[in-house]
Every structure is written in C-alpha cells, then in structure tokens.
Amino acid sequence: MLSCSEGLNNPQLGVRDFIKPKFSYYQSIFSCTLNPSSNLSLVESFVPKLLTEMQLYNDQFRTPIFLFPTSENSSSIQFFKIIYKFQQLEASEEMIEAMNKLNFNNIALCDEELRNIQSMNLINQTKLKSPYILEILNCKYIAPFNYGSFKSYIDDLINIVISSSLDIGMSYSEEVDQNKEFMWINTFSSKSSRKKISNKWLSQPRAKEVQSSFLEHSICSESKLFDAYKLN
C-alpha cells in the first residue's frame, strides 16, 4: 500500500503506469547460421534427436519453433532462428544444453539474440499446423506512452479479431526490466491466409481507428515473415 500511495501522489505517474502485462511464459530467441558444409536436410534430421533430448526435462511447457525466411528458396537459406518457449526460468538453459550435447554446432552456429523475454498470448490459435507463417515486429513506445496507455487499443484489436472470426494468433513480449520496447508476433496458417485476413481486417469499421492509435503510441520496424515449424 505504501508504494501505491507514493505513486498516486507522484504527478509524473498516471493510472497507465500501474497497468502491467500479465505474462504467462518466457521465450528465448536464437539466431543461427548454417555451417558451409551443412544444409537444411541436416537440420531436419537433427529435429527428432532434439525432441527426444527435450523429453528428458520436467517442464511440460517446452516448445522449440524453427523459423526459416519465407522469401528464400530452401536451397539458398543460410540463416534461420529458433524460438524456445518455456514457463519456468530454470528451464532457460535446457535448450542450450540439449543443442550442445547433440553437437548442433557441427550443423549451425547459434547466438542467443534475446534471452528470457516475458511473453503472453493475446489470441491463441489452437488449430495451427506446421508449417505456418510467423510474423515478428520489433517496436518501441513513443514517449510518454507505455503498455498501460496501449492496453485499451489492444483490447479493441482483440475484440475486432474475435468478432470478425479472423484466423490469426497474437502474442506480446517485453524484455525483463525493459518496458519501453516490445515484440509483437502474429501467426497465420499460410501466406494466402495472411493476405485474406489483412483485407478482411481493413474492411472492419473500427480497424483504421485502432491502427492509427497503434501508430500514435509506437514505432515498429518492418515486419519479418518466417515459415515456422513447431516441434511437439
């Protein structure tokens, strides 16, 4: 109660500063480069070994997702990403341990791009099958805005998506102790589905208003599209 009363008496703080995201899991993202003598077939053959190794751990919520650029032919792909989702912080090292134990560095070299970022699903896509399209946007809030001032527009977006029966998944992430930047992820069943959803979204009466509000509150880099393969 003491901290709340101090905040309410602080003219620099508003109600929005007390509204926080309800994170439910963590993610780490690895950026990988194929070794010169490697190819995607070797990555594909590695996957069953990784799944077997991950089953040895106790955390039931463990999901590695392999991401490959959609704009490239499979024969020319040299770079890819791996997203590792987990619920317990103790599980953050499991992916690295498994890859090291299985000598994945003989196939590709991976660096941890983002570590233990806090995440939550805004809209779950339960019927999603691999491969699917995953879209990543890295964003920054425009001062003095933050998640608290942004949440009502996120709620509006979610309501429009649900009422319009748009087949899309959405998640929101922030790095620990970093609430000025966020990562937004959309998932679609296919490229054609993404295009149809985009057209249908723009036809909704309140879509432009919500989209304008997003642009007023944040700046996002150009989105990146990947073919996603979820391991389970």
Q: Looking at residue 54, what is its pLDDT?
A: 82
Q: Looking at residue 59, what is its pLDDT?
A: 56
Place of tokens 């929005």: 16
Mind spelling out the 3-state secondary structure of 127-170?
CCCCCEEEEEEEEEECCCCCHHHHHHHHHHHHHHHHHCCCCCEE
What is the tens place of the pLDDT at every residue in 28-56?
999 999 999 999 999 999 998 998 888 87
E strands, the chain, are 25-34, 62-69, 79-86, 108-123, 132-141, 169-174, 181-188, 218-220, 224-230
Beta bridge partners of 136: 185, 224
Report how far residue 174's alpha carbon sits from residue 58's, in angstroms, rounded to the nearest whole number.
25
| Domains delineated in the chain | 21-230 (3.30.70.100)
- Greater model confidence, 87 or 126: 87
Whole-prediction pTM:
0.87
